[in-house]
Chain A
Amino acid sequence: MTQKLLNKTLRIYIVFSVIVLVITAPLFFILTQYVQLVEADEILLLRKLEFEKYNLKTLKTIDLEKWNLWNRDTRIEMKDFATRDNQFSNEFYPNIMDGDEEPYRILRSPIIIEGHPYLLFQRINMIGSEDTMYSLLALFVTILLLMLVSLFIITGKYSNRLWQPFQETLQQLEAYDIGNPSSINYPDTNIDEFRRMNSVIERLISRNLSVYNTQKEFVENAAHELQTPLAVMRSKLDNLMQEDLSLKEAKTIDALNYSIERLTQLNKNMLLLSRIEYDIYSGQENILLNDVLTRQMDFLSEQLTDVKTELLLIEPLTVNANKSLLEICLSNLLVNAIRHNVKDGYMKVIIENGSIKIINTGKAESLDNGQLFSRFSKQDNSKSGTGLGLAIVKRIVELNHWQIDYKFENNLHIFILKFNQQISQL
């Protein structure tokens, strides 16, 4: 499955951000908690020092009961176990509002009052710090999300601009047709990679074009050079036919006639294919397809005895094209539908919706769509035909930016030629 580069980048961003969030959030939580604990401990120690400095010297054992009565967070308890040093702990005490247990930080430190050992008990309520921590966490997540969203927007917008030269080149390459080459307009860019790509494409295209042209010329010249020997063969046979021939000789001549005809047709198609793009076919005119098809179907049905033909002109269809090429294109499609038909089969041609539909009976299996329009890909063993007919059709279709589709439905072969342009016929 292919996906856009931008989507892929953004997807990586999302995955990475989630991973960062998952890892950093607990870390952040633990760290804040630790910092607050250290802070609370410092406060507790400070309070202990203040107590020792301001209260301890004047405190008498008899006042202890009163002290404890008025103070809840700094109390003095009997030393009932051996506490030698400051001792911190976390404990829970119910609050008076709803009786929920609340977290407190506790410091117990040993003190001496009038020579007796006591325990100084101090506590700090940690409720507030817990709230701070949650809001900090929320802030953290919000910032992260905001950053992610802005990253998305910026990347989306900016990368479109960044890739603009690339897109321009790509679009032109997509429309590029070596048979009908147009010069490519390489966009001005100061990005090294794009510059390199453009120059590589330019080199590739010019090299391919020259190879293509050489090959085309070769085919054209070869086909052309064959015309004269073919003409000699044909005229020799035409004269030979006039002799008094035995049956065997006549059969030989008939076979030769047939072969020369096929060779001539093949040669003609090769020439046509190699020069379809030439200016000689550039003259365009508006052509009423209904007329062209009616004429062609008339001549076809005249030749046929075992295939029924039907022409359905649902609507008038006018196409702007070169007349010779259009006629060649249509006749190749029609002849194709007849040639691969079966005995007592039929062919139906329909003009509707700005397209021509050619439906015919034939071999009871679908043709290979990928091979159908390539040169010399005969998909059945019929001996007639040059194997170039549909290749020529495809070339003409491409040249005019039409569209041709093939499908196999209900044991029928269907070719649809869409013109993508319709000149209203009033």
Chain B
Amino acid sequence: MKILLIEDEAELAEDIVHYLSDQDFLCEWAKDIGNARGKISQYDYDCILLDLSLPDGDGMEILNELKKLDKTEGVIVISAKENMAVKIESLRSGADDYLTKPFHLAELLARVQALIRRKNFNGSNLIRSAEIEIDLLKKTVAISDRTLILTKKEYELLLYLIGNQNRVLSKGAIAEHLSGDQADLLINHDFVYAHIKNLKRKLIDLGCGDYIKTIYGIGYRWQL
């Protein structure tokens, strides 16, 4: 999977490239619009991560450029602008998702995976990790062909953990991900522990291996 990151902040770009590359993505970096235009015209990407405030112009230009070139790349806008109007405008101009800075790298990865899955709709809707099989369309989980009944939050948690497999996820990142658009109502991260505990028990009860590792003081990791 090829990803193009258009971001002028070198430090941030470096971290994103590093995190995504570890998850078997081929990640290229363009630091401005000029640079990005060159890459877009030459190559095809599965996903483009686009910052809006770039030194040589507005990231919106890239969205228009993609439209003009009739390209079908999925675009996730990553911007410091937490502004409903900008959000709506970029979604209208062809962006598929919008992530406000600062964000967790795990969240970015989850969004990239979701976007690529949506784009390759004809491909597989199944995610497999060890003996676990998740059907994204039916939203069901099976362990060695036995159905695992999960709550909505547990399902999302499992998907998030597996998507970021072998990476440590902080409690905060998980809490934010699970709260979705209700992040304003987050009081503390304690409820993450309860969900993890329940999920873990349900998995083990069905004879699944214990893949959720607790990283003391920080968070959790799906470890194969």
Bitwise, A278-309 to B at CB < 8 A (1) or not (0) is: 01110000000000000110011011110000
The answer, among A232, A247, A268, A384, for a CB contact under 8 Å with B217, is A247
**Given A296-B185, A334-B185, A335-B185: A280 in contact with B84 (beta carbons within 8 A):** yes
The stretch that binds B, out of A107-115, A138-146, A152-160, A258-266, is A258-266
Set of chain B residues within 8 Å of A260, measured between Cβ atoms = 102
Q: Answer whether residue A230 sits at the interface, using C-beta atoms and an 8 A cutoff.
A: yes
Bitwise, A298-328 to B at CB < 8 A (1) or not (0) is: 0110111100000000000000000010011
Bitwise, B207-224 to A at CB < 8 A (1) or not (0) is: 000000001111100000
Bitwise, A203-235 to B at CB < 8 A (1) or not (0) is: 000000000000000000000100110111111
Q: Answer whether residue B83 sits at the interface, using C-beta atoms and an 8 A cutoff.
A: yes
In the complex, the answer to whether B185 meets A247 with C-beta atoms within 8 Å is no
Set of chain A residues within 8 Å of B186, measured between Cβ atoms = 303
The answer, among B85, B101, B172, B190, for a CB contact under 8 Å with A228, is B101
Set of chain A residues within 8 Å of B143, measured between Cβ atoms = none
In the complex, the answer to whether B187 meets A338 with C-beta atoms within 8 Å is yes
Set of chain B residues within 8 Å of A331, measured between Cβ atoms = 182, 184-185
In the complex, the answer to whether B185 meets A300 with C-beta atoms within 8 Å is yes
The residue in chain A whose Cβ has the minimal distance to the Cβ of B181 is A327
Q: Nearest-CB distance from A335 to chain B (Å)?
A: 6
In the complex, the answer to whether A250 meets B102 with C-beta atoms within 8 Å is no
Q: In the docked arrangement, what's the CA distance between A198 and B167, Å?
A: 66
Q: Nearest-CB distance from A206 to chain B (Å)?
A: 27
**Given A232-B15, A299-B179, A335-B185: A247 in contact with B104 (beta carbons within 8 A):** no
- A242, A251, A296 pick with most chain B CB within 10 angstroms: A242
Set of chain B residues within 8 Å of A280, measured between Cβ atoms = 83-85
Q: Answer whether residue B91 sits at the interface, using C-beta atoms and an 8 A cutoff.
A: no
The answer, among A224, A258, A281, A302, for a CB contact under 8 Å with B84, is A281
Q: Answer whether residue B120 sits at the interface, using C-beta atoms and an 8 A cutoff.
A: no
The residue in chain A whose Cβ has the minimal distance to the Cβ of B219 is A241
In the complex, the answer to whether A230 meets B101 with C-beta atoms within 8 Å is yes
In the complex, the answer to whether B82 meets A239 with C-beta atoms within 8 Å is no
Inter-chain CB contacts under 8 Å: number: 122
Q: Answer whether residue B80 sits at the interface, using C-beta atoms and an 8 A cutoff.
A: yes
Q: In the docked arrangement, what's the CA distance between A267 and B130, Å?
A: 41
In the complex, the answer to whether A303 meets B191 with C-beta atoms within 8 Å is yes
Extra A-B contacts (15), CB below 8 Å, given A245-B215, A280-B83: A230-B101, A231-B80, A232-B102, A235-B15, A236-B15, A239-B18, A250-B217, A254-B170, A271-B82, A281-B84, A296-B185, A302-B153, A303-B186, A332-B184, A384-B187
Q: Answer whether residue B205 sits at the interface, using C-beta atoms and an 8 A cutoff.
A: no
In the complex, the answer to whether B173 meets A235 with C-beta atoms within 8 Å is no
Set of chain A residues within 8 Å of B173, measured between Cβ atoms = 238
Q: Answer whether residue A401 sits at the interface, using C-beta atoms and an 8 A cutoff.
A: no
Set of chain B residues within 8 Å of A125, measured between Cβ atoms = none
Q: Answer whether residue B69 sits at the interface, using C-beta atoms and an 8 A cutoff.
A: no
